[in-house]
Structure 1
Amino acid sequence: MQSLPVFLRLQGRAVILTGEGEAADAKRRLLERAGARIVGEEEEAALAIVADGDEATTARLQARGILVNATDRPDLCDFTLPAIVDRDPVLIAIGTGGASAGLAKALRQRLEALLPARLGALATALHDGRSAIRKRWPDAAARRRGIDAGLAAGGPIDPLSDKAADAVPDWLAAKADVDADRLETIKLPSADPDDLTLRAARLLGEADRIYHAPDVPAAILDRARADAARITASAPPGQAGEGLSLWLEMER
């Protein structure tokens, strides 16, 4: 990973925009949507967009300690601007590090067609229901597992369903518990994470801890939750612990 994706709150904050023409107009619209206060090169700001990619302007701004995006000049950029899928308050950003804006655009269009228009309403409903969610699952680990189960494919609040936002109250009222503590085994057909089955990828994203043979590659382990424990072992554990645990080994 060559860049750290972040979401910046720009409401009312100064952002320098230089250049003219279609590219500058597009960047101006984007900044205005984010609520930024657009200023000229001579003013103080923490960020700047050089819409014409001018190298001299970029260098002057960077010399002042300002982080700069130079349009179509990824070699000069301190940060790049992603393609955005906007389901406010849900934002999905697709970046290629400046390698191909066309690829980012194509991925955005695919995701636009996939994600329901009311995905943002689901996020708002979950935000509004935080107190009820905590009451339903007082324990943090149980709460995470309950939310994961609700949001799973085909679950009561599956985010790809356009009815998910309306289903939140019924989901919270339901008394069905998530699966008990369990250990699942995944046999990996190769070291390539693209060969993971949908089930394996889903389990990696949900598991609390990952037990794995020493030869399981880091590229596979990177598909697990960032906060999941990773434990190297020669064999599956006798007692896996609370929640969902996985045993990963290469197929022989």
Structure 2
Amino acid sequence: MHSLPLFHRIAGARVVVVGEGEMAAAKARLVERAGGIPCPETEAHYARLAFVALEDGHAAQTAALRLKRMGLLVNVADRPELCDFTLPSVLDRDPVLVAVSTGGASAGLAKHLRLRLEAILPQSLGALASGLSAARDRIRARYPDGDTRRRAIDAALQEGGRLDPFEPASAEGVDGWLDRTRADDGAQVVDVTLASDDPEDLTIRQARALGRADTVLHDPQVPETILIRARADAARAPLPAETPASGLTVILRRS
């Protein structure tokens, strides 16, 4: 990855915006939309982040270096080489945020990827997220064990599940899911023989299984480019290895 993706909370915090005109105004609007307070460079000692929106390249670089020396993280419009952080194109389904970034390579590409996602992600995503948040205590009470709880949530949110995020009706279904479903504590094993070492050759079913797996057992020669398709917190072990007695295990074998 070229960057570490983070969502930075700025509600009530000052954020420096240097510049004039529409480019600077757009940065100020973005700060305000996230709950921050745009402020001039004279208030930089109160801030942690800064946006520089100046057309003149030398002036932009000088302002960025000045702010960095004060300890601020700086974004410089249209100059990714001067940026400590870049701005993604954001799809907003509050409280769900989907950010698309090219690391400054092409803002236009990021925008059009976001527009494609806008067309397929329902407006009800935000309501579903809020419903799950409100039900957090009930979910913990229903499924006290963390692994069992995660498997139950995975089953509900998967394609065709009771809380399928792509189904608008799911936003109203959290209470019904908690009232009717039971967690499956049994073990499930998905045995995959890879067609190649290219992760693009994974089938949709295989990619989804990797994304949900609790444990990944694999031939030692399976490349990292495929293994990273699994959840970051999934257990990994090279074959031969014992299959766990619970949860979803994906076994990856080379053909």
State yes or no: 1:49 paired with 2:51.
Answer: yes
C-alpha distance after superposition, 1:114-159 (max 9, x if no partner): 1111111001100111122122212111100000000000111001
Alignment partners' CA distance in 2, 1:38 and 1:238: 56
Note the C-alpha offset of 1:211.
0.4
- 8 Å contact 1:183–1:240 — kept in the other structure? no
Per the alignment, in what secondary structure is the counterpart of residue 42 of structure 1? helix
Matches within 5 A, 1:189-228: 189-228=195-234
Query: TM-score, normalising length from structure 2?
Result: 0.94
Alignment partners' CA distance in 1, 2:16 and 2:138: 43
Structure 1 window deviating more from structure 2 (201-210 vs 180-189): it is 180-189
Match of 1:32 in 2: 32
Per the alignment, in what secondary structure is the counterpart of residue 143 of structure 1? helix
Structure 1 window deviating more from structure 2 (6-15 vs 186-195): it is 186-195
Alignment partners' CA distance in 2, 1:163 and 1:222: 32
Per the alignment, in what secondary structure is the counterpart of residue 38 of structure 1? strand
Query: TM-score, normalising length from structure 1?
Result: 0.95
Note the C-alpha offset of 1:84.
0.3
State yes or no: 1:12 paired with 2:16.
Answer: no
Alignment partner for residue 151 of structure 1, among 143, 150, 157? 157
Match of 2:145 in 1: 139
Per the alignment, in what secondary structure is the counterpart of residue 42 of structure 2? coil
Q: Which runs of 5+ in 1 are unaligned?
A: none
RMSD: 1.3
State yes or no: 1:172 paired with 2:178.
Answer: yes
Alignment partners' CA distance in 2, 1:131 and 1:170: 15
Alignment partners' CA distance in 1, 2:203 and 2:181: 31
Alignment partner for residue 65 of structure 2, among 22, 46, 59? 59
- 8 Å contact 1:87–1:117 — kept in the other structure? yes
Whichever residue aligns with residue 163 of structure 1, its letter is A
Alignment partners' CA distance in 1, 2:158 and 2:185: 13
Alignment partners' CA distance in 2, 1:141 and 1:247: 19
- 8 Å contact 2:199–2:226 — kept in the other structure? yes
Note the C-alpha offset of 1:79.
0.3
C-alpha distance after superposition, 1:212-241 (max 9, x if no partner): 0011000101110000011011x4x45333
- 8 Å contact 2:96–2:126 — kept in the other structure? yes
Question: Percent same amino acid at aligned positions?
Answer: 52
1:11–1:175 distance in 2 versus 1, CA, 3 Å: closer
Match of 1:98 in 2: 104
Whichever residue aligns with residue 173 of structure 1, its letter is D
The count of aligned residue pairs is 249
Alignment partners' CA distance in 2, 1:57 and 1:82: 22
Per the alignment, in what secondary structure is the counterpart of residue 11 of structure 1? coil
Q: Which runs of 5+ in 2 are unaligned?
A: none
Alignment partners' CA distance in 2, 1:31 and 1:238: 51
Greater helix fraction, Structure 1 or Structure 2: 2
- 8 Å contact 1:213–1:249 — kept in the other structure? yes
Note the C-alpha offset of 1:177.
3.8
Whichever residue aligns with residue 117 of structure 1, its letter is Q
1:34–1:238 distance in 2 versus 1, CA, 3 Å: closer
